Amino acid sequence: MRLAMAAACLALTACATPQMQPLSSPASQLPPNNNPTQMNRDAAASRGPVRNLTAQPGEEIVTIRYWKIKKGGYPQFLEASRKGIWPFFEKIGARIVGMWEVIPPPDGKSASPDYDEVYLTTRYASLEHWAATRDAAAMGGDGPDYAALQAALAVRQSLTIETKVTFLKGATGPLGPVYMPGTGETFTPVP
Structural domains of the chain, ranges and CATH numbers in brackets: 59-170 (3.30.70.100)
pLDDT at position 145 over 60: yes
pLDDT at position 105 over 80: yes
More confident: 76 or 60: 76
Query: Which of 97-101, 106-110, 135-139 shows the lowest per-residue confidence on average (mean pLDDT)?
Result: 106-110
8 Å CB contact between 150 and 44? yes
Instruction: Please compute the mean of the pLDDT values over residues 63-71 and round it to a whole number.
Output: 98
Instruction: Please compute the mean of the pLDDT values over residues 4-30 and round it to a whole number.
Output: 40
More confident: 107 or 101: 101
Reduced to 3 states, what is the DSSP secondary structure of residue 188? Answer: coil
Instruction: Please compute the mean of the pLDDT values over residues 15-36 and round it to a whole number.
Output: 40
The beta-carbon contacts of 24-28 under 8 Å, at least 24 apart in sequence, are 26/128, 26/131
Phi/psi at 173 (5° precision) = -70, 160
Predicted structure pTM score: 0.69
How many angstroms separate the CA atoms of 84 and 81, rounded? Answer: 6
Q: What is the pLDDT of residue 169?
A: 94
Closest among 111, 89, 108, 110 to 36, alpha carbons compared: 89
Residues 143-159 as b or e (16 or more Cβ within 10 Å = b): eeebebbbebbebbeeb
Instruction: Please compute the mean of the pLDDT values over residues 139-152 and round it to a whole number.
Output: 93
pLDDT at position 113 over 70: yes
